[in-house]
């Protein structure tokens, strides 16, 4: 997911809006991906929208794939038009507990693998 975020970073920095940044930051803070100091740095570090977006992306990339996944998911949810323009893919996985909707693509499940069934059983077991 960090690679996906890096791929869209230049266009995202050019095209993101302040309300999108604020909305995404709020969600990331609520999920404890961003701490209070990081939120303050993003919100008050610069008045320029592009700088806020750049700092947000750089901070999230350092936190790893899960955090990047959440950021991309929120961009997709909060601004579907921008998400479509950027080509953010449907490769986002969500694990929210038993019975939750999960989204996978062929690469993540590796449907061509002889170990697909074993992999799927692991996912199924981990959910309960």
Q: Same structural domain for residues 74 and 107? A: no
Domain count, the chain: 2
Q: Same structural domain for residues 98 and 82? A: no
Q: Same structural domain for residues 103 and 73? A: no
User: What distance lies between CA 58 and its chain's CA centroid?
Assistant: 13
Per-residue pLDDT of 58-76, as tens digits, reads 999 999 999 999 999 999 9
Q: Same structural domain for residues 80 and 98? A: no
Instruction: Kindly compute the dihedral angle of the four CA atoms of residues 30, 32, 38, 40, in this order, to the nearest 10 degrees.
Output: 30
Q: Same structural domain for residues 52 and 110? A: no
Average pLDDT, the chain: 80
Q: Indicate which CATH number applies to the domain containing 79.
A: 1.10.533.10
The pTM score is 0.69
Per-residue pLDDT of 71-91, as tens digits, reads 999 999 999 999 999 998 755
CA within 13 Å, CB half, 12:
28
End-to-end Cα spacing for the chain: 25
* pLDDT the model gives residue 118: 54
Per-residue pLDDT of 13-68, as tens digits, reads 999 999 999 999 999 999 999 999 999 999 998 999 999 999 999 999 999 999 99
Strand locations in 5-114, DSSP E?
A: none
Q: Same structural domain for residues 31 and 53? A: yes
94, 36 Cβ separation under 8 angstroms: no
In this prediction, what percent of the chain has a pLDDT beyond 70?
Answer: 70
Q: Same structural domain for residues 25 and 49? A: yes
Domain, as residue range, for 8: 2-86
Phi, psi for 82 (deg, rounded to 5): -65, -45
Q: Same structural domain for residues 81 and 112? A: no
Q: Same structural domain for residues 11 and 38? A: yes
């Amino acid at each position: 997911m960090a690679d996906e975020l890096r791929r869209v970073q230049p266009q995202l920095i050019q095209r993101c809006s302040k309300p999108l940044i604020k909305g995404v930051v709020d969600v990331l803070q609520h999920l404890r991906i961003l701490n209070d100091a990081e939120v303050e740095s993003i919100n008050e570090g610069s008045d320029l929208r592009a700088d806020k977006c750049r700092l947000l992306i750089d901070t999230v990339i350092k936190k790893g794939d899960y955090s990047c996944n959440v950021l991309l998911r929120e961009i997709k949810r909060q601004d579907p038009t921008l998400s479509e323009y950027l080509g953010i893919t449907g490769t986002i996985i969500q694990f929210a507990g038993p019975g939750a909707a999960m989204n996978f693509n062929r690469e993540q499940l590796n449907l061509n693998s002889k170990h697909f069934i074993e992999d799927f059983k692991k996912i199924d077991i981990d959910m309960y």
